[in-house]
Chain A
Amino acid sequence: MKRFNWQIWAGFLLTFGGLLSFPLFFVRFPSTRDFPWANLLLVALAIVLLVIGLKRAFQRGRSKIAKVMACVLTTLSVAAIGLFLWSFFILAKQLPPSRGAPQVGQKAPEFTLTDTSEKQVMLSELLSTPINGVKPKGALLVFYRGYW
């Protein structure tokens, strides 16, 4: 009886832990978000474990089930890693060119939008309504993707 092939399972679990920890944890810190080096390190370690696990699974005396299982776990891991790399390095960079966006030195286009209490708000009001009794120096417009 061969010993339990823990490497293949550890590699599999570490792959998913390493990837899911990006949106769940590492994305909160600029240093681990701007480039996902922490996750890539975990994934690299997972790949090492998977390779060792695969080798072990194909040693003589291992059952067919062990081999199939090792292949399935490795395939799932590789697919998940591929999906992660694709979403971070390709999908997230698919952004419009926005060449017509206001540039530094230009006047920001005026607008009127609805706030969370259903009130109409103008940019000029945002730039002039006092903050705690003091006239504001300016406004920071943060455009974001919204719930998706």
Chain B
Amino acid sequence: MEKMGIRPVAISVDSPKESRDLREQSGYTFTFLSDPNAEVIRRYDLVHAGAGEGGRDISRPAEFLIDSSGVVRWVNMTENYWVRARPEQVIEAAKTLE
């Protein structure tokens, strides 16, 4: 992704510490952001109410490719949370960005 000039950013309600642990365990090096009160997740209308631990509001899985001017160029909203975007789909979409 980064070689193509696309910055991957992971966003969830996990705290910075939880994200740090996940990042270290998984070996991912890209940016992880915390939205503990689901404020940004709400702004993007992605709240999955009560679906988290102890009935917490969490994010549904979703991927957005944003170009450097801040415009959305590709969106993937899964219909089933076991099913996520495949890297090929993202790479295909990323090719259209200048």
Contact = CB atoms under 8 A, between A and B. Distances in A.
Contact of B8 (A108, A118, A142): A142
Interface residues of B, number: 67
Interface in B18-39: 18-20, 22-23, 31-35, 39
Interface centre among A108, A114, A127 (most CB of B within 10 A): A108
A113 B9 CA distance: 11
Contact of A123 (B14, B70, B80): B70
Nearest to B24: A116
29 contacts: A33-B83, A34-B83, A95-B81, A96-B46, A98-B46, A98-B60, A100-B45, A101-B45, A102-B64, A105-B71, A109-B40, A109-B43, A114-B33, A121-B33, A134-B5, A137-B67, A138-B5, A138-B7, A139-B7, A139-B66, A140-B7, A140-B64, A140-B66, A140-B90, A142-B8, A142-B11, A143-B11, A143-B41, A147-B18
Interface of B: 1-2, 4-14, 16, 18-20, 22-23, 31-35, 39-41, 43-49, 51-53, 58-75, 77-83, 86, 90, 94, 97-98
Interface of A: 27, 30, 33-34, 88, 92-93, 95-96, 98-111, 113-118, 121, 123-124, 126-129, 131-132, 134-148
